[in-house]
Chain A
Amino acid sequence: MENVYQMAGYTLHLIPTKKFKTMTISLRLQSPLLKDTTTIRTLLTFVLMAATQDYPSTQSLATYLDENYGASLSTHITTKGQSHIINVATSFVNDAYLPSPEHLLEKQLQLISDLFYHPYLDNDGFHPSIVQLKKKELQEKLQANKDDKFSYSLDKLFEYMGRGQVLGIPSTGYEEEIQNITSQQLYQYLQKCIKEDEKHVYVVGDLPDDIVNVFERILKFPSHCHDYPSAYIFESPRQDLLEVIEKQDITQSKLNLGYQIQCDFTSPSHYAFTVFNAIFGGFSQSRLFKVVREKHSLCYYVSSSYDAFNGMMIVNAGIEANDYRKTLHLIGEQLADIQAGHVNNDELYLAKIMLVNALKKTNDEAGSMIALAYNRDITHIRETSEEYIEKLMNVTLEEIVDVAKKVELDTIYFLTGKEFHESH
């Protein structure tokens, strides 16, 4: 159950429920994902939550949040296909569980408003002390991400597969551009976000009766309505399969495969592809896990994921360097098998109930409830969870085979040890 209100410069979505002891607010700002703005937008998410005029340092802002019974405040940056999304979120304990009323809703909402309208400034830019600190933090975070070989190899797959396209633009920006951004440019970019980004606000929890008035009073943005594109179908400009092998001093090799699929979140075949992915590699009951892990003991993890916003699919596995060809072969064999129509009703049914169960579980977690609602809101898909489940349940074996036939391996990125030798 979700109530929607058109407010000053944003859409407010209220999801009332008494089952949580906290209230969660999430403000999402959408703008196109562009090569030129990805770094500044990422840096802004770091600088934005670092300080305000009233709390002009990490320490003073953290002290304020402690006082508010450990209320959280965070910003994240992600992509939704062709869109670059900033998420500003807070969650805090409902007054009913506190010794005395603290009015945390008003306080935290005011804080979010202050991030945008009363940041800690110096002349006509963010305060340089904050910007310098956050540049360093972003730089170090990008470095640490690279040291995580799982996410590094996945980023590399996107980089190679999406070269020259939106898929190849890193959602967290380019390391080498960070230092050149000035405090003034960053503040000007904030003004642009306030004016031009498409905004949705979600609130989940035991909501007070006057909540709409509270938002009306505290949070305002300039009236503006933009429809930015998000989901799209990835299409490769290349004809041939791209195979990239990189060597590092590591123990376990990371295999990452990128596929073209001719389907995205808004396609009629979206439901069939969702079920196909569940059969192929989405769960621990899926083909890939059963065959590559359980039958051949080649890995600890292997799975496929359907990226419905980039309209593509990835498969990843951690394996022994020597098992590279064998693993590739087994994965290819499973895909070919489904494409050839070798898939039965038991598999189909199992995949569907796993998906339905996973969907129902999102109802018990505020963050997932918001994520689900947001996906539908930015793609303008008006669909209840019941309708979605019905469409999933109606998917037939023929449709599975049809979507499988459109799946085509596009890029292989293999991160392996120094001792790796290709032997055919």
Chain B
Amino acid sequence: MKVIKYPTLKETLYFEEMPNGLKVYLLPKVGFSKTYGLFSTRFGSVDTTFVPLHEQDMIKVPDGIAHFLEHKMFEMEDGDASEAFAKLGASTNAFTSSSRTAYLFSTTSHEKECIELLLDFVQDIYLTDENVEKEKGIINQEIGMYDDDPDWRCYFGSIQNLYQHHPVKIDIAGTVETVASIDKATLEKCYHTFYHPSQMMLFVVGHINPDEIMKLIQDNQQQKHFSKENPIQRAVVNEPLDVAQKEAVLHMDVTMPKIIVSMKINTILTKPQERLKRELAMNLFLDIFFAKSSSLYDEWLNEELINDSFSAQFTQERDYCFLQIGGDTLYPERLKEKILYFIEHIHEYDIHQEDFLRLKKKTMGIMISLFNSPESIANMFSRYYFEGIMIFDLIDCLNALTMDDLMSLRDLFDEHYATSFTILPQIQ
């Protein structure tokens, strides 16, 4: 077992790779009653074209299948995993993002049994045609719930604007039509391909003894048999440089308009450290220009163009990367022009050292506070892990950033790749 100490954060991490390829990380937290386990795989909603395990040819599976599989994993031959956790006094859940699926439990007792249960229910699949059919009604209601959510529609619409082919433009849950076409055989194919131990990572944080827990996991894994691992072949997406559409407007039964200006970034970095550096630098950059302490925020606030809901976000995952800037506004057209002006004239905007240093301090404080909560540690750990990054390196990387690192980001801005998505009240 490898022991890694992080003195600045006063944390110690334990790591071991199991013979079957499963990676296990443990982070004991002194004084906490809670233990939180997160078991994740690099299978998200964008993984719809790949070569299944032990096959030769690429197949295209229905949109929303990763999320559907996540729903069905809880069913076990001898009952329901949620109920088994409940009997241990624990609660369980799962989530699917564009790039990964994660299963979790949270408990204040029976930590060992919970860890074993988490491994056991995810490392086995039990599907019948009936239980697959039954899930469709539930998922359709989940889709319906998001359909009526103006924030979600605006956020997602602004991503759909950007991509012509990339599956990130497809809703994580799929559509009512694609969900209808999902069957048992395809779910099983996805399961065997993406849930092999060598593709997965277990992270446990909280009230644990690392030696005992690691031993427990080793014993648990030794009892199970898995076929030989195979590197997964995923389809390479041929996404054109241009955006899918420059602007879109959606009328909903709402009173408050919203707008998001999104911008596609076509230069995709591949080295994890460079990607991390870009992410931290871009977040700092956006904070300098759009946080509440910035002069642009102040200006737009006084012109009544924005309110508290305004934000600027950077997303970088696998082979796609984009910016989203916007929020609720009574004047979506005017706000759009302001944001587009900023993008177009980016080279006229300078960064001042005092802003740079101040926002570095702010970011550092916020990063430290993220280490308060077992949930946020686990979720961050899993997200960065599949990007090839250890979260404990974030603060050092932040400290190493220079003004020049931020200035050079301006070259990524291009109004040609910027789009807008607007939500407007219905016309009476």
CB distance from A298 to the nearest CB of B (A): 7
Cβ of A79 under 8 Å from chain B: no
CB distance from A400 to the nearest CB of B (A): 17
Task: Identify which of A136, A300, A301, A366 contacts B139 (C-beta below 8 A).
Answer: A300
- A141–B149 CA distance with the chains assembled, in angstroms: 15
Task: Identify which of B106, B255, B362 contacts A147 (C-beta below 8 A).
Answer: B255
Contact assessment for A19 and B292 in the assembled complex, using a CB-CB cutoff below 8 Å: no
Contacts of A300 in B (CB 8 A): 138-139, 141-142, 144-145
User: Which of A28-36, A65-73, A212-220, A221-229 binds B?
Assistant: A65-73
Q: Size of chain A's interface in residues, with CB distance under 8 A?
A: 64
- A204–B358 CA distance with the chains assembled, in angstroms: 26
User: Which of B54-62, B212-220, B225-233, B300-308 binds A?
Assistant: B300-308
Cβ of A93 under 8 Å from chain B: yes
A residues 65-95 touching B (CB-CB < 8 Å): 65-71, 91-93
**Binary flags per residue of B67-104, CB closer than 8 Å to A gives 1, else 0:** 00000000000001011001101110000000000000
Closest to B364 in A: A69
Contacts of A301 in B (CB 8 A): 141, 145
**Binary flags per residue of B105-144, CB closer than 8 Å to A gives 1, else 0:** 0111100000000000000000000000011111101101
Contacts of B185 in A (CB 8 A): none
Cβ of A365 under 8 Å from chain B: yes
Contact assessment for A252 and B366 in the assembled complex, using a CB-CB cutoff below 8 Å: no
* CB contacts between A and B, total, < 8 Å: 178
Contact assessment for A364 and B141 in the assembled complex, using a CB-CB cutoff below 8 Å: no
Contacts of A360 in B (CB 8 A): 33-34, 108-109
Cβ of B373 under 8 Å from chain A: yes
Contacts of B309 in A (CB 8 A): 140, 144
CB distance from B344 to the nearest CB of A (A): 24
**Binary flags per residue of B282-306, CB closer than 8 Å to A gives 1, else 0:** 0000000001111101100110100
On whether A297 and B134 interact (CB within 8 A), knowing A58-B301, A69-B361, A252-B141, the answer reads yes
Contacts of A251 in B (CB 8 A): 144, 147-148
Size category of the B interface is 35 or more
CB distance from A258 to the nearest CB of B (A): 21
Contact assessment for B256 and A350 in the assembled complex, using a CB-CB cutoff below 8 Å: no
Contact assessment for A364 and B365 in the assembled complex, using a CB-CB cutoff below 8 Å: no
Closest to B8 in A: A97
Contacts of A350 in B (CB 8 A): 86-87
Contacts of A356 in B (CB 8 A): 89, 108
On whether A91 and B369 interact (CB within 8 A), knowing A297-B137, A361-B34, the answer reads yes
CB distance from A29 to the nearest CB of B (A): 22
Contact assessment for A66 and B31 in the assembled complex, using a CB-CB cutoff below 8 Å: no
Cβ of A192 under 8 Å from chain B: no
Cβ of B353 under 8 Å from chain A: no
CB distance from A83 to the nearest CB of B (A): 26
Contacts of B87 in A (CB 8 A): 350, 353
Task: Identify which of B141, B148, B362, B372 contacts A66 (C-beta below 8 A).
Answer: B362
Contact assessment for A364 and B328 in the assembled complex, using a CB-CB cutoff below 8 Å: no
Contacts of B295 in A (CB 8 A): 59
Q: List 18 A-B contacts (CB under 8 A).
A: A58-B301, A65-B362, A66-B291, A66-B359, A67-B361, A69-B361, A69-B368, A71-B365, A93-B368, A136-B304, A147-B256, A283-B91, A293-B138, A300-B139, A300-B145, A318-B144, A350-B86, A360-B108
